[in-house]
Amino acid sequence: MEPFLKKFFPSVLLKMHDARQNQYCIFDSQILTAFTSSLYITGLVSSLVAGRVTTATGRKGILIIGGAVFLLGTVLNAVAMDVKMLIFGRLLLGVGIGFTNQAAPIYLSEMAPPKWRGTLNTAFQLFIGAGVILAASINLMAAHVGDIGWRVSLGCAAIPAAIMTVGAMFIPDTPSSLIQRGRVQEARKSLNQVRGVDSDTEAELNEMISHNEAAKADNRQPYKVIFERRHRPQLVLAAAIPSFQQFTGINVVAFYGPVMFRSIGISSDGALIAAIILNVVNATSTLVSTFAVDRFGRRLLFFEAGVQMIACEVALASILASELGTAGTATFSQGASITVLVLMCGLSAAFGWSWGPLTWLVPGEILPMEIRPAGQGIGIACNFLFTFILAQVFATILCHMKYGVFLFYAAWVFIMTVFVALFVPETKGISLESMDTIWQDHWFWNRYVDVEKKYTIPDEELSYLAHQRISLES
């Protein structure tokens, strides 16, 4: 929005009005990218802290804390008078996202029955997509409000923040989290509530108690335990998958979609409408993942999306090279603009049914209870780190690499797809408590399985400890 740029980033506005300006470099402003990417610095730090906070307060507690901090950041953004105030509010948003992004996927994984876990976890990405559509629609309407339109846009973020904060007060905490804090009777009530009062939940509850007793017998900090050799597969995948997500090129769509469309000559309203179209495609494609993930598995979605994203990114590079060249001063034709939009929709769709939801699903599945908050925290921190780096440098990379930026992302997608083929096992239909079995048959990770035996408590002892704990609680 021009009033927003005029108040906080006037140099960018001047470049937009310069007809001789290289289209690739219009938004190459470190202050502007600092505003965009500052959120991810505090998101990174808070996601690491979130593991400990989650263990102490439970999944429910950290959702409430994260929502409240996000609400405060929204208020500061809406009333910002200068860039410093704007960025400080953005930093608070990062804290809120760091906390809630850590807790929400774990909450869904721990509450969902094994056969529906994939479907329910993809709903996490689905509603992110729905939120982005709503945000883009608000931007489009607020752009016509006048000079305060940007305040309306930023202030409307208070609505989902309030829903998160208040709504979390009315949901039960997860049974696993309650058992970790010694509240077995509340865990039984929570499990009955989510499975149904007519369900036989004692076996599932006993299994959770047994795993918790094993973790307590180990009596070490999760952030130390996760770096042990026996947890090497979980550590590598929990860090690598969220990191790789940011190299799909989706940042081009998510953060710089309108910027890209403005750069190739589309009007301000047209750029916002194109962004809405992209986000509708992304959210709709997440429904495909919701349907397919528990039917066809995680790996198939990764493979198909890898081929589709590489094809779209190579085609995008070719079109930008032919239309704008390296000088970036040529006029972009209407037909080429539509083709760019279609290809970016293809990229967005592939992401929506693969790396979007599966980035949160797979790490949440493979992490054992005793290291789940720590592993999820590390994964989200890695995600935020690379999001920050790429958001901070993307405009500069676009300015210097020009159309080659899409070839850069295509090469990374190829590497990621090969990594999945070699190192990511299928987790479809396997309960969280039985997930350790997937490493035993894996060609590479099976070398780490034998170490686990040194730390395993006999089944008879685990069963005895579980029954003793239930008796004491009763």
pLDDT per residue as tens digits for the range 184-194: 899 888 888 88
Contact assessment for residue 462 and residue 214, using Cβ atoms and an 8 Å cutoff: yes
- Scanning 226-328, the segments in alpha helix (DSSP H) are 232-245, 250-254, 257-263, 268-296, 298-323
> Splitting the chain (474 residues) into consecutive groups of 10 residues, what average pLDDT does each group show?
86 69 68 80 85 84 93 94 92 91 84 80 81 86 89 93 92 88 88 80 83 72 86 94 90 62 61 78 85 89 96 90 69 75 90 90 85 85 86 77 87 96 92 83 85 47 54 53
User: Please, what's the b/e burial string for 313-348 (b: 16 or more CB within 10 A of its CB; e: otherwise)?
Assistant: bebbbebbeebbeeebeeebeeebbeebbebbbbbb
> Could you report the per-residue pLDDT of 399-451, keeping only the tens digit for each?
788 788 889 999 999 999 999 999 999 998 888 778 888 998 899 999 887 64
Share of the chain above pLDDT 90, in %: 26
| Residue of 44, 91, 424 whose CA lies nearest to 233 | 424
The rounded distance, in Å, linking the Cα atoms of 281 and 423 is 30
Q: Give the pTM.
A: 0.72
pLDDT at 146: 85
**Rg over CA atoms, the chain:** 23
